[in-house]
Amino acid sequence: MQIIGDKRTMRETVMEHRRAGKTVGFVPTMGYFHQGHLSLMRAARRENDVVVVSIFVNPLQFGPREDLADYPRDLERDCRLAEAEGVDYIFNPVVDEIYPQPFLARVRVEGITEGLCGAFRPGHFEGVATVVAKLFHIIPAQRAYFGQKDAQQARVILKMVEDLDFDVEVRVCPTVREPDGLAMSSRNVYLDHEQRKRACLLYRALEKGRLLAEGGERDAAAVEEAMHEVLREEPGIEVEYLGAYDGLTLRPLRELRGEVLLAVAARLGKARLIDNIPLLLED
């Protein structure tokens, strides 16, 4: 496995493989790997000749009061884990390599970025879209892998690729969970012992919503109330949003039909956790 920090070398390396007729799979990450990241690497390994993983904690997607400085990092461990998954290249640039100053360009996807996390993290998806657009140029892979856990991010990337004609197939892979249902996230390290025990309620609330919806409940307000009830079982869970959303537009629903996303964001102390369950509901 080779570690590359320079964008020209990275791009030329990928282009060489493509000229030789190889398929390249790309997994963009901010590092501090967990099983969710590793599952993306495995999918990329299965489906491509060459696998590239980027590790870059992107300052542009953090708000001024967010956790950029504290974001967990462990490059050595990440490299060991990636190598064990058969990753061929790690792209690990410094901030100036990605954002030479002054850096004035931005990629903005409208509409689907306004609700859910977008309402609580202004500028976040602009930061994500901008860095992913740059990474797609630096690593011109045929396939790129994202996790369903960041459902809104995945929608934003899919729309950016569609609207701006990026020549890459975006694969969205299932959320990987701890045995008690908590979605894996690098930010789970922020949870203390008590918060960690309560954190699985997010998934339990979504599961309650799923069971009701799959059992025939079509009233979004009834499903949402049932999900809130689960989160009220324990103190210290500060809900940002919890509800049923249209799976494509991400707008809140009144009636559950077709592609539905049950989604939640909540703070437990310092940790801000998100989770979701996508559903396909027949009439």
Distance CA 196, CA 278 (A): 24
Structure tokens at 271: 């940790």
For ligand PAF, what does the binding mask look like between residues 139 and 158, x meaning CB under 6 A?
-----------x--x-----
Residue (55 or 277) nearer to ligand PAF, CB: 55
DSSP state of 189: G
Residue 58 lies near ligand PAF (rule: CB under 6 A):
yes
Of the residues 13, 14, 29, 159, which one makes contact with ligand PAF according to CB under 6 A: 29
Pick the catalytic residue: 37, 137, 193, 228?
37
Residue 28 lies near ligand PAF (rule: CB under 6 A):
yes
Please name the residues in contact with 148: beta carbons below 8 A apart, sequence gap of 6 or more. Answer: 154, 172, 173, 174, 175, 276, 278
Other beta carbons less than 10 A from residue 146's beta carbon: 22
Of the residues 24, 41, 131, 182, which one makes contact with ligand PAF according to CB under 6 A: 131
Residue 128 lies near ligand PAF (rule: CB under 6 A):
yes
Query: Which of the ranges 8-16, 112-120, 127-135, 231-239 carries the binding residues for ligand PAF, by CB under 6 A?
Result: 127-135
Residue 71 · residue 44 · CB < 8 Å: no
How many alpha carbons fall within 13 Å on the CB side of residue 183?
25
Give catalytic status of residue 193 as yes or no.
Answer: no
The footprint of ligand PAF (CB under 6 A) covers: 28-30, 58, 61, 128, 131-132, 150, 153
